[in-house]
Amino acid sequence: MTAEVKFVRLECLETEDNGADEVYMHYNGGFMAGIQDIETGGTWNLGVVRNVDGEATVSLFDEDDIDEDDHLGTIIISESEVGLGLRSQSFNGDDANYLLFYRVRPADND
């Protein structure tokens, strides 16, 4: 069985930068979404769908100009989460705090 992940939204509870972060996400190491300006208390509505076969990784980064981009964390999403409704996992790297909401559902076979 193959499942798919629908990424619903990313909530920012605490930015990495002073002021807004410029965030983007990778899925299984490839670019998925961004760059999005987001402030503490802000929400980024995603609506992105990706297939998941077994397990998949999602990484969150903050883009910076004067130094290296910051890796704010990597989570693992599993096909076994299918049908469990709205799920969330957090990214806590570099003292930032983000919450990613997603659903895992059976993939359309047609």
Nearer to Ca ion, 67 or 108 (CB): 67
Question: Contact region for Ca ion (CB under 5 A) — 7-15, 62-70, 78-86, 102-110?
Answer: 62-70
- Please give the biggest Cα pair distance in the chain: 47
**Residue choice 39, 53, 55, 64 for contact with Ca ion (CB under 5 A):** 64
CB proximity list for 70: less than 8 A, separation 6 or greater:
16, 61, 62, 64, 93, 94, 96
72 part of the interface to Ca ion, by CB under 5 A? no
Q: Which residues bind Ca ion (CB under 5 A)?
A: 16-17, 22, 62, 64, 67, 70
